[in-house]
Amino acid sequence: MKYLILIFLATSVAGLRYKFHRYLDRSHKHENLIGSTYSAEMALGMLFVGAAGETAEELWRALNLTNREDVLGKFEDLQNMQPYTIEMFNYLLVNRKYKVKETYIKQVAQYFEGVIDSVDMNNSKAVTSKVNKWVNDRTHGTVKKLMSYVGPDVNGILLNVLYFKGQWAKKFDPSLTQQDYFHVSDTKSIPVQMMVMRGRFRAERFFHLGIKVIELPFMKDGLVMLIYLPTSSDGLDELEEKIQESTLPQERQLVNLRLPKFRISTKTKLKSILNQFGIQNLFSPAANLTGIVEDSNFHIDDVIQDAFIEINEDGIETAAVTGGRSPAMDFTANIPFAYVIRDSHEIYFQGHVIEPEWDI
């Protein structure tokens, strides 16, 4: 079993990742988005290690398992980032009429930051309030209402919860933050709390793509936020179709940066997306999850991802104001933009900001 975990986590599933994220982009076209393919893969990995036969095979195929190196370390690295920046965990609710295997409970705790809970699905109220309280505690009070209903016919639901609150390597000076307008579209502008900084960053203007990109480092080594800014308020769609990867020049340049504070919370039911990627058996009575429970008719009803991000001025040191009057690139994020949070190995989060919300 351990071997299978290693293989699974070693995958580089560029194809699925890209499609998965494009699907999220499109299905959240008109609203703020934070999503994590990386974490969804972890969640599926947790189910994969308990799957056998046809169910294991469809996960294997959909995730395009190829590379057999050990990347468990990657997940451990991620856990080491906590509690500063990212929290990611999986919570599997199993109808208590099924008996969960001890070995599975141990594996899930060890490799996936996972918890398994056998619950009385007949008591919807007690289950939802227990789950909501647990998730709320683990996300510092940000995710208040994840579950709204369970019923006697529910077999298993996997909750994949993520929380990100970055600390910048160089913080924004809160006294410079001012109210400004964000142009959601040609005809709609909303007030936002705009943070301001003048500093040196890796940044580039890609004329052929009509976008500007900036890289903002977090205090955790190597973790950065890339912001992709189109040239007009209706340019995001096209931008998201075009960008996959971009390489920025090593050299930093002076930038006048304006970025709104924002909080985003996104809840996505993944079943219908995963269905499109050929993961169907897992969600049907034919599922073979004999590594999880003894009984043969157990299956998963849905996988729900709930992710939260907060971006504000917080950081570790004050940014020195450099280059007095020298010319600087202007980077004003006052129209819908896309972002990615990553290090050199992994993309942890991707999303977009359509209408920055702060007091939610």
Ligand X SMILES: *[C@@H]1O[C@H](CO)[C@@H](O)[C@H](O)[C@H]1NC(C)=O
In the complex, residue closest to ligand X by CB: 15
User: C-beta of 42: minimal distance to ligand X in Å?
Assistant: 18
User: C-beta of 5: minimal distance to ligand X in Å?
Assistant: 18
Q: Is 290 in the site for ligand X (CB under 6 A)?
A: yes
Q: For residue 192, which amino acid is it? A: V
Among 80, 244, 296, 322, binds ligand X (CB under 6 A): 296
Q: Is 288 in the site for ligand X (CB under 6 A)?
A: yes
For residue 303, give every residue at least 6 positions away whose Cβ sits within 8 Å of its Cβ, in sequence order, or none: 40, 43, 44, 47, 157, 158, 160, 269, 270, 271, 274
Considering the complex, state which of residue 86 and residue 121 has its C-beta at the smaller distance from ligand X. Answer: 121
User: C-beta of 134: minimal distance to ligand X in Å?
Assistant: 20
Instruction: Please report, as residue ranges, which positions from 7 to 46 form the binding site for ligand X (by CB under 6 A).
Output: 14-15
Among 69, 120, 294, 317, binds ligand X (CB under 6 A): 120
The answer to whether the CB of 199 falls within 8 A of the CB of 346 is: no
> What torsion, rounded to 10 degrees, do the Cα atoms 311, 315, 321, 327 define?
-40
What number of residues does the chain have?
360
Considering the complex, state which of residue 248 and residue 286 has its C-beta at the smaller distance from ligand X. Answer: 286
**CA Rg value for the chain:** 21
* Residue 194, phi then psi, degrees to nearest 5: -95, 120
The answer to whether the CB of 334 falls within 8 A of the CB of 345 is: no
Classify 12 as helix, strand or coil.
Answer: coil
User: C-beta of 56: minimal distance to ligand X in Å?
Assistant: 8
How far apart CA 247 and CA 251 sit, in angstroms, is 12
Considering the complex, state which of residue 120 and residue 137 has its C-beta at the smaller distance from ligand X. Answer: 120
User: C-beta of 162: minimal distance to ligand X in Å?
Assistant: 24
User: C-beta of 243: minimal distance to ligand X in Å?
Assistant: 18
Considering the complex, state which of residue 97 and residue 205 has its C-beta at the smaller distance from ligand X. Answer: 97
Helix (H) or strand (E) holding 178: strand 178-183
Q: Is 155 in the site for ligand X (CB under 6 A)?
A: no
- Residue of 143, 312, 351 whose CA lies nearest to 218: 312
Stretch that binds ligand X, among 39-47, 199-207, 218-226, 288-296 (CB under 6 A): 288-296
Q: Is 73 in the site for ligand X (CB under 6 A)?
A: no
User: C-beta of 53: minimal distance to ligand X in Å?
Assistant: 3
Residues 308-347 as x/- pattern, contact with ligand X by CB under 6 A: ----------------------------------------
Among 27, 118, 122, 332, binds ligand X (CB under 6 A): 122
Q: 274-279 contacts: CB < 8 A, separation 24 or more?
A: 274/44, 274/62, 274/303, 276/23, 277/16, 277/19, 277/20, 277/62, 278/58, 278/61, 278/62, 279/44, 279/58, 279/59, 279/62
Classify 26 as helix, strand or coil.
Answer: helix
Instruction: Please report, as residue ranges, which positions from 188 to 227 form the binding site for ligand X (by CB under 6 A).
Output: none
Instruction: Please report, as residue ranges, which positions from 79 to 98 form the binding site for ligand X (by CB under 6 A).
Output: 96-97
- What DSSP character marks residue 324? T
Among 1, 52, 316, 360, binds ligand X (CB under 6 A): 52
- Count of residues in contact with ligand X, rule CB under 6 A: 14
Report the interface residues with ligand X, using CB under 6 A. Answer: 14-15, 52-53, 64, 66, 96-97, 120, 122, 152, 288, 290, 296
